[in-house]
């Protein structure tokens, strides 16, 4: 899970997300940065906030 609050991408978090993606892991990002190329390319699930992440945790089969 990667949490990207605010509107600034994080290079360190992007590297971790890429590493998890390359390892075949489920990558869930909590961010409003839905247009960010790193998020779109590497995230399995994108949720807009922590409440939505909590809802996804309760029902991960429903997607994001």
Paired tokens of 16: 């971790």
For 16-32, how does the pLDDT look when each residue is reduced to its tens digit (9 = 90+)?
889 999 999 999 999 88
Specify whether the CB–CB gap between 2 and 30 falls below 8 A.
yes
Strand segments, DSSP code E, in the chain are 2-4, 28-31, 45-47
Label residue 1 by pLDDT band (50, 70, 90): confident
| Domain range annotation of the chain | 2-62
Is 60 exceeded by the pLDDT of residue 64? Answer: no
Task: State yes or no: pLDDT of 62 exceeds 80.
Answer: no
Give whichever of 6-10, 39-43, 59-63 has the largest mean pLDDT: 39-43
pTM, two decimals, is 0.80
């Amino acid at each position: 899970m990667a949490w990207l609050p605010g509107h600034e991408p994080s290079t360190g978090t992007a590297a971790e997300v890429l590493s998890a993606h390359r390892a075949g892991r489920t990558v869930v990002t909590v961010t409003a940065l839905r247009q960010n190329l790193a998020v779109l390319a590497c995230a399995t699930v994108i949720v807009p906030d922590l409440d939505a992440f909590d809802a996804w945790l309760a029902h991960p089969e429903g997607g994001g």
